[in-house]
Structure 1
Amino acid sequence: MLFRRRKPADILERMRTMLWPRRSFWRSAQYFTKRVLRLTATPHAIAAGVAAGVFASFLPFIGFHFLLAAAVAWLLAGNLIASALGTAIGNPITFPLIWASSYKLGCAILGSSATHGNAPIQLGKLWERLEFNQLWEPLLKPMTVGGIPIGLAFAITFYVVTRWAVAGFRRQRQNRLLEKARRRAEAQAQTLATDSI
């Protein structure tokens, strides 16, 4: 391979880079931004895809975010790749904030208390036995109800920002290409003028 490491990374190094990128989160954010801006689709399709991915990240159905984002992007005539990139808003750093805020808002909307009496939710036992119906009422239902309005607010914001950024990026790129073509035409005209003399 062309860019292979000389010394292969051991298991601890791989675990560290999974949790904390080698070259900072800012560089990873720039990478995702450039990937979105360079997609070949209309600005609406790219922005709708990103918005669908952001919205899906606010729902508590981990493992299904890509599928939910793809379905919402398809309904909005959005780009499927942009929807997958939009789900990056939900990551190990943001998930605790997303889950806590959606749970609290869902409990407020449903009018239920966050503690459900004195009995704590035994998540380990519920996941062990895969009792979805017992997990739905105390946890997933409030998170879903609370995640929808928060997800919609963030999705609309990301749609507007992404559409504006993609349109501006394409305008700048077109201006750069026109300027380059103009300089090339002037250079050719000068070489023709000097050759004719």
Structure 2
Amino acid sequence: MLFRRRKPADLWEKTRTLVWPRRSFWRSAQYFVKRALRLTATPHAIAAGVAAGVFASFTPFMGFHFFIAAGLAWCLGGNLVASAIGTAIGNPLTFPFIWGATLETGRMILYGGDIPQGAPIHLGKMLSHLEFSQLWEPLLKPMSIGALPLGITFALVFYFLTRWAVFGFREQRRKRLAERARRRANQQAFGAGTATSS
């Protein structure tokens, strides 16, 4: 098979690559941007799909981001592949900032200035006993509320950026193809002219 590794990656290598890409995060980001720009859909569909994926990344429901993004993209008339690409905004580098921002925003919306002080949260203990009902009030509820304004804001920013980028990319490609066709026509005309003169 073409581009296959000589030595197959073991479980540790696959896990490490999932958390930290082999090349760099910047190169991975460029790959996702190019994948989104080259999709064969309308600029609105691509931009709406990316925006849906960005919004889904702000929700605290890990493991469901693809489904949330796909559902939103379907409602907005967005591209499903673009929605999956948009969820890449939530990654190991950005999740701590996203979670902290949504938690604090949700607490400000729910409780205003006086945030209730309770007992410290033992997240590991709750998850080991699957006490998700106890996670709802102190964590998931404020994060869900905080995800709404932040997710909508970032989704709108990414919608307009993606739409503008798709228009620019397609205009550049159209000019490049027109220039290539013009050069090819000139070469053919020059070849036909030399053939007739000889």
Whether these two folds match at TM > 0.5 is yes
Determine the structure 1 residue equivalent to 2:137: 137
Measure, in 2, the Cα distance between the counterparts of 1:93 and 1:127.
22
Determine the structure 1 residue equivalent to 2:171: 171
5+ residue gaps, structure 1 = none
Determine the structure 2 residue equivalent to 1:70: 70
5+ residue gaps, structure 2 = none
Q: CA deviation at 1:148?
A: 0.8
Q: CA deviation at 1:131?
A: 3.4
Determine the structure 2 residue equivalent to 1:7: 7
Determine the structure 1 residue equivalent to 2:84: 84
Measure, in 1, the Cα distance between the counterparts of 2:37 and 2:80.
14
Determine the structure 1 residue equivalent to 2:109: 109
Secondary structure at 2:35 match in 1:
helix
What does the per-residue CA deviation read over 1:79-133, in whole Å, with 9 as the maximum and x for residues that have no partner?
000000000000111111100110001001001655x434112323332343333
Normalised to the residue count of structure 1, the TM-score between the two structures is 0.92
Q: CA deviation at 1:181?
A: 0.8
Measure, in 2, the Cα distance between the counterparts of 1:174 and 1:58.
36
Q: CA deviation at 1:196?
A: 2.1
Measure, in 1, the Cα distance between the counterparts of 2:11 and 2:78.
38
The code of the aligned residue for 1:189 comes to A
Measure, in 2, the Cα distance between the counterparts of 1:175 and 1:117.
61
The correspondence of residues 1-197 of structure 1 with structure 2, limited to 5 A, is 1-111=1-111, 116-197=116-197
Using the TM superposition, name which of 137-146 and 126-135 deviates more. 126-135
What does the per-residue CA deviation read over 1:142-187, in whole Å, with 9 as the maximum and x for residues that have no partner?
0011111011111111011100000000000001111111111111
Normalised to the residue count of structure 2, the TM-score between the two structures is 0.92
The code of the aligned residue for 1:196 comes to T
Measure, in 1, the Cα distance between the counterparts of 2:12 and 2:56.
31
Residue identity over aligned pairs, in percent, reads 66
| Change in CA separation of 1:118 and 1:144 when aligned onto 2, cut-off 3 Å | closer
Measure, in 1, the Cα distance between the counterparts of 2:118 and 2:64.
32
The code of the aligned residue for 1:131 comes to E
* Count of aligned positions: 196
RMSD: 1.6
| Change in CA separation of 1:21 and 1:180 when aligned onto 2, cut-off 3 Å | same
